[in-house]
Structures are given as C-alpha cells and as structure tokens.
Amino acid sequence: MCEANVYLYRDDIGKEELFMEQVDKVVPQNGELYLENIFGQRKTIAARIRELSLVDHRVILEIVKESEAG
Amino acid sequence: MCEANVYLYRDDIGKEELFMEQVDKVVPQNGELYLENIFGQRKTIAARIRELSLVDHRVILEIVKESEAG
C-alpha cells in the first residue's frame, strides 16, 4: 500500500508535525485541502502542498496564512 | 516503491494524459511544479495539483491558464 503520512510544516518553529496518517486522497477544493485516509477518515485544512516525497511516503503541507487567502 | 505516475488533466478533452512516470518528488515553486522521478529525470510544468490518489499511484495535474497566472 502506497498511502502517505501527511505532515504540517510549522513555519514558526521550522518543523513538521504529523497531521494525518496513511492518507490516500488529497484534493484541493475552494482554497483548502480535502484529505482522506485508508481508514475512511476525512479532514479539511486551509493549507497548500509544500512538497510530495512519495518514495518516503511523505506529503508536506503548509498553512495558508489569512493574508494570502483569496 | 511508492512513486506515482503523473497525469495531466486536459480540460478541453476531459481526459488525462500521462505526463511523467514513477515520480518521487513534486514541489510547487514560483507558481509551477517541479517533478523528479526515480530515474533522476526532472521536469517543470506550469500546472497545479488537481488530485492525489496515492493508493492508485496517481497524481493528477491541471494546467494553470495564463489568465490565472500571478
């Protein structure tokens, strides 16, 4: 199985925090990201994709700052 | 190995076309996407991520229209 763990890059501390495990689907929608994992759990977050590193099973997100929101 | 095939969604024909195989890294940069596959091949494209479907090893992109470019 090739799902990935999704991490949130925290600009303020320069580190990544685990946001959701074993994610299958990631879909940008209305300026947010919709995530769904292999257990059927769903989350939506006002973030954008910062990097995919698929061989390492990693998806890195970063928060969309309010000042950038459309 | 959990790399994915990257497809380009063609809005005009409503279909996806294979753009790059066995991609490891996808990094948004300067309004474009930088892609790198497990063979070390690199491509950059003025596109955005439309959907990730990781269990199916699929990354779907869509072209950024000129009128939307920043």
Task: Write down the pLDDT at residue B65.
Answer: 81
Residue A70 has what DSSP assignment? -
Is the Cβ of B69 closer than 8 Å to some Cβ of chain A?
Answer: no
ipTM of this predicted structure: 0.90
Cβ separation A2–B57 shorter than 8 A: yes
Q: What angle do CA A20, B47, B41 make, to 5 degrees?
A: 85
Task: Write down the pLDDT at residue B14.
Answer: 92
Ranges of chain B with pLDDT below 70: 68-70
Is the Cβ of A38 closer than 8 Å to some Cβ of chain B?
Answer: yes
pLDDT (tens digit, 9 = 90+) per residue, A17-48?
999 999 999 999 998 999 999 999 999 999 99
Q: At residue A63, does pLDDT exceed 60?
A: yes
Classified as helix, coil or strand, B31 is coil
Task: Write down the pLDDT at residue B68.
Answer: 67
